Structure 1
Amino acid sequence: MAGGHPVASGETPDLLGRAAELDRVGRLLDGARAGRPGLLVVEGEAGVGKTALLRATAARAGGFTRLTARGIESDAALPHAVLGELLAPLRALLGEVPPGQAAALAAALGWGPAGVPGDRHLVAAGTLSLLAAAAGTGPVLVVVDDLQWADRESAGAVLFAARRLHGEGVAVVVACRPGTDLATGADTVRLPGLGPEAARALLAGTVAAPVARRLADRLGGNPLALLEVAASLSPAQREGTEPLPALLSAGPALAGALEPEVAALPPGAQQAVLLLAAAYDGRAGAVAAALGRAGVDAEAALDEAEARGVVVRAGDALDFRHPLLRSLVWRRASPADRRRAHRLLAETARSGDDVVGTWHRALATTGPDEALAAQLAEVAGRARARRGYAASSAALERAAALTADAGRAAELLAAAVRDAAVGGDTARARALAGEVLRAPAPAAARAEVLHVLGRVEQDSGSVPAARDLLQAAAEPATGRTAAWVLTDLAVVQHRLGDVAGMQATAQRIAAADARDPLQRVLGAWVTGIAALHAGDPDRGRPPLREALEGMEADPELRAEPRLLPLLVLAVGWLADPLAVVPVVERRLREARALGALGVLVSVLAMTAHGRAWMLGDHPGAYADAGEAVELAEQLGYVADAAPALELLASEAAMRGRHEEAAAHLQRARALVTRAGTVAVAAHLPVHEAFCALCRGDLATAAGLLEARLTADGGAGPLGEPLGVAPVLVEAWAGLGRQAEAAALAAEYERVSRSPLPPTAALVARCRALACPDDDEAAALFERALAAHAVAPDSFETPHTRLLFGERLRRAGRRTRAREELAAAADAFAAMDLVHWARRAEEELAATGRTARPRRPLPEEPLTPQETRIAVLAAGGASNREIAAELFLSPKTVEHHLTSVYRKRGLRSRVQLARLVPPGG
């Protein structure tokens, strides 16, 4: 397990030349004392002083609950090694964590039974809740050193929690080497070498001042290199009367200075430090037992290593003075000596610690060992049950190396690829996959690896590359694997607008085994989606309904989170989405309870569009899109973040925040370019045009949508025929291009096949905008409002009233115009749509009505997360319930609700419930 620091937490050396860094740490701690959480990453090369800064941080955290851990290079073999060390002092608070998260966290850390339902992210959510509980009694300091060596699950859980805490006094400080990709985007202090004055002060009394200056120049001010190299100099070199040795840089110089320390150790101490380098924990007892097995006087060997400053001890805790010594000791040892160290540790492993014993035996073995390979596969299974996917993947990789059966080795490596991907380590997944694909492998193993790579590319890489990989995976795949591969392929083809490809995929999946409920459901889903994309709704909707019914009828399928995105995507193509809203909401709650954040990213991006364009629930759409983007950024997903950003842009534009909208659109375009879907990203120009319409730039809106007419016939956000018509007709009408507007409105009415009232309302509104006769236009607007009344749309209904009111005012019917404009203004204001509310108020003033009782327009808009929390709170959910659902802490929920109350001038949840309509 990860080794803690044997040095007492309050012990800290004087830090020279770190005034700016200590000031930054001080501000972080002051913020935590005031209830403001923070995350700080300390980045720097080996020996530059990261650990010293962390110790100084801990020493300044008086009154804090201090939680510390450090990664070591062997952590990948043990699931949640760092997290277990870090959170051990908080175990008594587990009862304050939501039950599902508590069970997942207990399983991960070995505090409870393994195998409980849930995703790996549920462990991260439990970490957040446990830290929040600890902060209930005072500020908390979390310190993780050498994050680059922490097991991936532990590092991910700590960073996830740190980024989602708001309102709790939790300060998180992690240190890592440059190039660590886990903490991307966090507030980072990059430790440079010491400046000349600080370097000379560090070496004062050790070497002459001119020597100190030359050392500082050559070693880049690296503190550890300065001290170690200075200590290795001869007296004459220290005085400057003999030339210094040739020093190239801090790294080689530091290794060269440390090498003599290790080489000078007596044989017994040499064995002791090698055993410590090989050990999976920092217990002196474990090293002593192995030394005894080798016939070495353990106490004498350990005392010698400690006396010479190579290791430090505190009770049973044993560690190297610096991590570089561990690397140096291991590098100096021969392969045979390394294997012998592992063998001794295996023979003396504590009873019951079979994972550590198995790993040591595996690393002590050179030839094939089928029994040991099987034991490692069992170790992997236990790690997987505790959501230790990095540990599982490592065990499977080693098991593959120990089997002589090439086919079995490929199967084990394929499983290692899968677990690496599930654990979020896509670089490792790709590297292991290359080993499988470069050698002959069973068809099933090859299919699994290609499928995993396709999913990785689909989520966070290139969508065209995902298509190629999934097509290759479909060839050798059979059974359920084939059904899933073809379904994922259809989703990718949908994203690329590859209609012909979808038809071919539908033909292939028709061979799926209809006796298996999963294969039957996936086959029906692909068949339905392909037909709908081909423009044949009569052929596509029945199998799609069959798929949705099957997803609900079978208990196994109801519990499968991977089906949720398919269910939600299908809803957009059905005639009556309102009928399945309760199903989607329930499945979303179930996915949240399982911590299935990867699924939630894609689902929330889709539900955001569905709420906006099908249900007219713009507060709900705003909240869903905001949460999808936040999660996508934390998980590194690309494909699903772009559509969520597009919708956020439209929602921001409706609220008059045009610079924010432009920023969202810019990010969305960058993501679709990176994902390789920019050429077919039909959503993007539609949202760009709507944002232009909101800011009054009708010419830009028209130009963007005219290009869509040429590119794909003007399909709408959900692929509906001429879906761009409502915005384009409005833009053309505003530009005085009445003939074009009238022709498009007529064509829109002709091709529109949706029986949904919202579509009928938009058709009537388009005709009204293009109609030259005021009375006929008024009748068409009335028809549109009647259709809206059947299925109210929180935005489009007042939008129609606004356009109707403007037409009535221009026609001189001011009294009637005031009715429509006042209703529109109030509806827009209730949704925080400041831009549209002001436009309606300006039109109302133009009718001659300058004063009326009305809700004041909010000066500060709600954020997407504030909107989500306000809706849930207005629906009666408690802070703890909201926190558990959104993977936040109760204090964070309270923080956001306080902001909502302040922005809206509220004092209670009763007032909030009156302000926020049901469902948003």
Structure 2
Amino acid sequence: MIERSFEAGEKVKLVERAEEITLLTSVLARTARGEGGVVLLDAGPGVGRTALLDEFLRRAAATGARVCAATGSSAERDVEYGIVDQLFPPDGGLSAGPRLARALGRGAADTGSGHDAGALFDALCQEFRQGPVVIAVDDAQYADAVSLRFLLHLVRRLRTAPVAIVLTEPTGPDSLSPSFQAELLRQPQCRRLGLLPLSRAGVARVIAPQVAAAEAAELAADFHAVSGGNPLLVQALVADRRDAYRLDQEPAAAPATGPAFAKAALAWAYRDDPVLFDVACGFAVLGRAATPALVACLVDRGADAVARVMTALDSAGLLDGGTLRGTVVGRALLEHVDVQTRAELHRRAAGLLHADGAPATVVARCLLAAPVAEPWACRTLLTAAEEAMRDDETEFSLDCLRLAGQTAATGHDHAAVVMARVRIGWEIDPRLVSPWLDELVDALEQGSLRSADAAWIVKHLAWQDRFPQAADGLRALTERADLDEPGAGAELHVVRQWLRHSCPPLDTGAPDLGMPRTPQARRMSPASYASDVLVQVLGEGPGEHAVGMAEEILRGCRYGESPIEALEAALLALLYADRPDRALYWCDALLKQAGDRSTGTSMAILSGVRAEIALRHGTPHLAQEHASSALSAISRSGWGVAIGSPLAALVQAATASGMSGAAGAWLNQDVPEGMFQTRHGLLYTHARGHYHLAVDRPGAALDDFLTCGDLAKRWGMDVPTFLPWRTSAAQAHLALGNAGQARTLVREQLARPGGSTPRARGVSLRLLAATSELGQRPALLRESVNLLENCSDPVELMRALADRCQVLHEVGAPAKARMTARHARKVADAGGGHALFRKLFKDEIPEDAVAPDDLGEEDRGSASLTAAERRVTALAALGHSNREIGRKLFITKSTVEQHLTRAYRKLGVRNRTDLGDLLAGTNLAAGASALG
């Protein structure tokens, strides 16, 4: 009996279906009062209409109701009485049902059978009245015509037939016929019930018994996002997660869409409806670019059919914003389509998307699945490759390039492919460019490259230390400009400005054509304007105009959208214009835009600039960190001649931190010979000079610094804010005992453009003090400290403080020296420069005198003052006269003088001015303010 099968079946736990069960139960309850009812249950694929029906039938059977159930199938749609025979089997005890159905079937052709049908219906009602009866047909859309006619006959007479009828159908194109639905829903006792996917809370309830309680809430959000709340897919995700747990011995962090999920996706697609499968495959092929019109054209189905399928999929939670939810669903569908059909779908999709103006990356994905021999295909792939690189999709970009090379049909297309390979390869790692540069050099010599491409090749030949070929390319570009070839003048200006700040010797031999002559040729890129600004700063020194232009350029640029050479030049212009604070702001903003990227040429260059900025801010540990990141972002050979900049930062950072061994190790790295003919080589040689100073080789240091100076002057880069070679050489001269030559160099630097900026002047004054008489040194060093305190460079500030501390000892002001050492200790604590602090102060101040807690009232001098002396000294420090102090403290002027005399002796000062300097910022000064 059917009743026994339902009673023996496994109970299904339903989630978020309480309202539906309540409605079905109320219809069943009316049968006890002799009233019938009908429920038409519809839902999208996988939402659970069959599970809900089975649960209801179990509950109905448990109440003693007689359950008559059937399931429709497309294979039996043409079998007459198929559904009726399932509902009323021979041993079911409802023999009038099949006889009534056959009488109704005969009545379609024999009008004389109406009396038989009436009598049989009365007999069937008598059988129904023996107890509540439930007639259920799952997938009623596949019922044969005679069975449907029988069901409608019952529905029209439900007021006198105590039976509950439940029919299920899918949402979409394969539902019950409109005429049947109209006839059904016209009856007052008929209700339509639509099932929706599960909410996030419902998903949580489904997975709660199978996952840890702490993970349920978070996993529910992820499961809902992937499945759309479709119960079939949710259970599949749980199964895949369980399998992943078994394999890995730990649960997956995110929903694993594995075999179970793929099979579940196919379960709803492989139904007896070809339209549903075809349209779903169309959505899978088009992906995010799918629209109803495009899908209809692709699968050659009507727009109304596509709309119905979309309704079905959307109601099942399988669509997300008009596209299939999750790429795994689409992949699972397409894997079960034969190869030829799948390829044809992708080819047609590529053509449709291209004609519709879809993004190149979208079209390219279809082309990669099935190439087409169309003239536009190669250009589309090249555009997609460049866009993919901007989006950090390296593998996809390379795939597009490979296919573009196979589809290039003309020489122009082939040259474009090679150029794209070089551009994109350079962004990944310049090492990849080398195999293609030779071919482009030949094209450059033959004049078959565009001016923009020719300029690009010149720059990167120089980058790769191929200076002779770069010079030949520059001459070829110059000849084009002489012939007024469109665009050649502007491109020549761009490449020459880049050479002037990167590889100056390559530019010196070419005639200076000045700016492009025509307005059309002067339409320059941000990279060109940024190079102009950097060249201006390196040649003329800092200026407000250059700073404003650099910031304006950076304001309009974004990482990945603007050329990295524009970003680098604008940042360096700010840095060499003595605005490291603004350079830091913009560089950090660009690194933030880069997100999680850690590789690629753009990241390498940007990290290298950030390392230079860190050096100017006196944070060698950060400089080392960013320079190391720069070197790891691309290969060492990929850096070419530009490797000098990150190596210089590493050497200088290690030297400043007292790690001369590490600095020497970096200097032992092999570097290209051509690097020493570049700006990067200047930085490298300058850093090497400071290493020589640190390891007590002042002669070698002086040679390096003077070499830097000769090249900087020759190349028009003799600006202290870029390369303070004169003060560096002055330090070497001082170490060699040549104070006079050191003094000359320092004065020259003070007179140079940019030599009066706070940082440059502060360093110069410190060295000038070292070449001056003892009596002049305190004032020079005080000004040096004041200037450097406003420059955010703790390294140079500590050096100035160390020199001042030594001078104060020499002039007999030990208390001031101790205060200076404390100041330096605070600077070291704030900037992490403890190694440098110990190196600079170990000979001048005992370790216990500069301990972190050795501050304020713990000072040995001020601690020795009596309470009366403290009060008098505090007021004197504020500038009060002896008479005013006596009046405030109610003591005589003579007593004030006696207290001050003893205080001067204890504190090691000679007058009120020294007293004010000594007590500034101490607890004693705070007490003075309170008394005043």
Question: Which residue is 2:516 aligned to?
Answer: 550
Q: 2:435 maps to what in 1? A: 468
Q: Could you list the per-position Cα deviations for residues 118-164 of structure 1 after superposition, in whole angstroms to 9, with x for gaps in the alignment? A: xxxxxxxxxxxxxxxxxxxxxxxxxxxx9xxxxxxxxxxxxxxxxxx
Tell me whether 1:52 sits opposite 2:223 in the alignment: yes
Alignment of 1:363 onto 2:348:
yes
Is structure 2 residue 418 aligned with structure 1 residue 450?
yes
Among 619, 624, 628, the alignment partner of 1:666 is 628
| Alignment correspondent of 1:240 | none
Unaligned runs of 5+ in 1: 26-47, 60-69, 71-145, 147-174, 178-190, 200-213, 227-248, 343-358, 366-372, 863-920
User: CA offsets per residue over residues 705-750 of structure 1, 9 Å max, x none?
Assistant: 6989996696674555xx6565555554554434445555666666
* Rounded Cα–Cα distance in structure 1 between residues aligned with 2:300 and 2:407: 44
Match of residue 832 from structure 1: 792
For the aligned residue pairs, the C-alpha RMSD in angstroms reads 5.6
SS in 2 for 1:512: helix
Contact 2:200/2:220 (CA < 8 Å) preserved in 1?
no
How far residue 290 of structure 1 moved from its aligned partner, in angstroms, is 11
* CA–CA separation in structure 2 for the residues paired with 1:716 and 1:302: 62
Rounded to whole Å, the distance in 2 between the matches of 1:845 and 1:452 is 60
Does 2:316 correspond to 1:312? yes
Say whether the 8 Å CA contact 2:456–2:495 is kept in structure 1.
no
Structure 1 residue 798, shift from structure 2 partner:
1.9
8 A Cα contact 1:417 1:449, kept in partner: no
Contact 2:766-2:780 within 8 A present in 1 as well: yes
Partners of 1:275 and 1:287 within 8 A in 2: yes
Q: Measured at CA, do residues 529 and 590 of structure 1 come closer, stay the same or move farther in structure 2, by a change above 3 Å?
A: closer
Which of residues 391, 394, 419 is equivalent to 2:362?
A: 391
Q: Counterparts of 1:872-883 in structure 2 under 5 Å?
A: none
1:604 partnered with 2:567:
yes
- Is 1:765–1:780's contact at 8 Å kept on the other side of the alignment? no
Residues 1:691 and 2:653 aligned together: yes
Aligned length: 614
The residue number in structure 2 matching 1:13 is: 204
Q: Give CA-to-partner distance per residue, 1:420-458, whole Å, 9 cap, x none.
A: 556654433322322332356212211212111211111
Q: Which residue of 1 aligns with 2:644?
A: 682
In structure 1, distance between residues paired with 2:764 and 2:239: 64
Task: Tell me the CA shift for residue 413 of structure 1.
Answer: 4.5
Give the letter for the 2:600 counterpart: V
Q: Deviations over 1:326-379 (max 9, x none)?
A: 444444345787799x8xxxxxxxxxxxxxxxx9xx7279xxxxxxx5x75453
Q: 1:744 to 1:710 in 2, by over 3 A?
A: farther
Percent identical pairs in the alignment equals 12
Provide the C-alpha distance between the structure 2 equivalents of 1:732 and 1:795, rounded to a whole number of angstroms. Answer: 23
Alpha-carbon distance in structure 1 between the residues aligned to 2:695 and 2:320:
81
CA deviation after TM superposition for structure 1 residue 485, in Å: 2.0
Contact 1:801 1:821 in 2 (8 A): yes
| CA pair 301-710 structure 1, distance change in 2 beyond 3 A | closer
Report how far residue 670 of structure 1 moved.
Answer: 1.6
For 1:560, give the aligned amino acid.
Answer: S
Q: Secondary structure at the match of 1:438?
A: helix
Q: 1:298 to 1:534 in 2, by over 3 A?
A: closer
Q: Which amino acid in structure 2 is aligned with residue 550 of structure 1?
A: P
Q: TM-score, normalised by structure 2?
A: 0.53
Q: Aligned ranges for residues 887-906 of structure 1 at < 5 Å?
A: none
8 Å CA contact 1:493–1:499 kept in 2: the answer is yes
Shift of 1:519: 1.0
Change (3 A) 1:760 1:312: closer
Cα 1:264–1:786 shift into 2, 3 Å: closer
Q: For residues 9 and 527 of structure 1, what CA distance do their matches in structure 2 show?
A: 61
Aligned partners of 1:279, 1:704: CA distance in 2, in Å? 52
8 Å CA contact 1:503–1:531 kept in 2: the answer is no
Please, what TM-score do these two structures have when normalized by structure 1? 0.54
Q: Distance in 2 between matches of 1:288 and 1:603?
A: 46
1:429 correspondence with 2:397: yes
Partners of 1:393 and 1:420 within 8 A in 2: no
C-alpha deviation, 1:466, in angstroms = 1.9
Distance in 2 (CA, whole Å) between partners of 1:536 and 1:279 is 54
Give, in angstroms, the shift of residue 821 of structure 1: 2.2
> Is 2:540 the partner of 1:576?
yes
1:112 paired residue number: none
Q: Which runs of 5+ in 2 are unaligned?
A: 1-195, 809-815, 833-932
Measure, in 1, the Cα distance between the counterparts of 2:376 and 2:310. Answer: 43
Matches within 5 A, 1:264-303: 264-265=271-272
**Which of 781, 797, 800 is the equivalent residue of 2:761?**
797
* Pairing 1:239-250 to 2, within 5 Å after superposition: none
* SS of equivalent residue, structure 1 residue 616: coil
Tell me how far 1:609 sits from its aligned partner.
3.5
Pick from 532, 557, 560 the counterpart of residue 525 of structure 2: 560
Q: For 2:399 and 2:480, locate their aligned partners in 1 and report how far apart those are by CA, in whole Å.
A: 32
Distance 1:512 1:421, change over 3 A: farther
**2:516 aligned counterpart, secondary structure:** helix
Letter in 1 for 2:794: V
Letter in 2 for 1:430: L
Partner secondary structure for residue 792 of structure 1: coil
Q: Tell me the distance in 2 between the aligned counterparts of 1:522 and 1:550.
A: 9
Distance (whole Å) between structure 2 residues aligned to residue 658 and residue 815 of structure 1: 34
Contact between 2:641 and 2:675, CA under 8 Å: does it hold in 1? no
Contact 2:533 2:549 in 1 (8 A): no
| 1:606 maps to amino acid | A
8 Å CA contact retained: 2:750, 2:761: no
Specify which of 401, 423, 447 is matched with residue 372 of structure 2: 401
Give the distance between the partners of 2:330 and 2:520, measured in 1 at CA: 52
The amino acid that maps onto 1:469 is W
Q: Read off the aligned partner of 1:52 and give its amino acid letter.
A: F
Counterpart residue number, 1:787: 751
Q: What per-residue deviation string (whole Å, max 9, x for no partner) do you get for residues 245-294 of structure 1?
A: xxxx9944554566565545455655665566567689999999999966
RCO higher in 1 or 2 (8 Å CA, sep ≥ 6)? 1
Give 1 or 2 for the bigger CA radius of gyration. 2
- What CA deviation, in whole Å up to 9, does each residue of 1:292-322 have, x standing for no partner? 966999999899x78xxx9616999888798
Could you say if the C-alpha distance between residues 19 and 418 of structure 1 is closer, same or farther in structure 2, counting changes exceeding 3 Å? same
CA contact (8 A) 2:408 2:417 kept: no
Say whether residues 1:332 and 2:336 are aligned partners: yes
CA 1:495–1:774: 2 relative to 1, 3 Å: closer
Displacement of 1:845: 2.3
Task: Check 1:803–1:258 CA distance in 2 against 1; reply closer, same or farther (3 A cut).
Answer: same
SS in structure 1 opposite 2:361? helix
Cross-structure match for 1:491: 459
For 2:601, what is the secondary structure of its paired residue? coil
Tell whether 2:578 aligns with 1:616: yes
Show the counterpart of 1:846.
806
Q: Is the 8 A contact 1:732 1:741 kept in 2?
A: yes
CA distance, structure 2, for counterparts of residue 286 and residue 438 of structure 1: 28
Aligned partners of 2:366, 2:552: CA distance in 1, in Å?
Answer: 34
1:192/1:585 Cα in 2 relative to 1: closer, same or farther (>3 Å)?
farther
Alignment-derived partner of residue 356 in structure 2? 379
Distance 2:365 2:531 in 1: 32
The verdict on how the C-alpha distance between 1:449 and 1:465 changes in structure 2, with shifts beyond 3 A counting, is same
Q: 1:769 aligns with which of 710, 720, 732?
A: 732
Listed as ranges, the matches of 1:453-532 within 5 Å are: 453-461=421-429, 463-473=430-440, 475-476=442-443, 481-512=449-480, 514-516=483-485, 518-526=487-495
> Once the two structures are superposed, what CA deviation does each residue of 1:570-591 show, in whole Å capped at 9, x if it has no partner?
557x633657x74685376356
Paired position in structure 2 for 1:649: 611
Deviation at 1:657, TM superposition (A): 3.8
What SS does the corresponding residue of 2:653 show, helix, strand or coil?
helix
Write the distance in 1 (CA, Å) between the matches of 2:306 and 2:701: 91
Task: State whether residues 746 and 767 of structure 1, in contact with CA within 8 Å, keep that contact through their aligned partners in structure 2.
Answer: no
Q: Given that residues 497 and 680 in structure 1 are in contact (C-alpha distance below 8 angstroms), is that contact kept between their aligned partners in structure 2?
A: no
Distance 1:633 1:770, change over 3 A: farther
Cα 1:494/1:11, change in 2 over 3 Å: farther
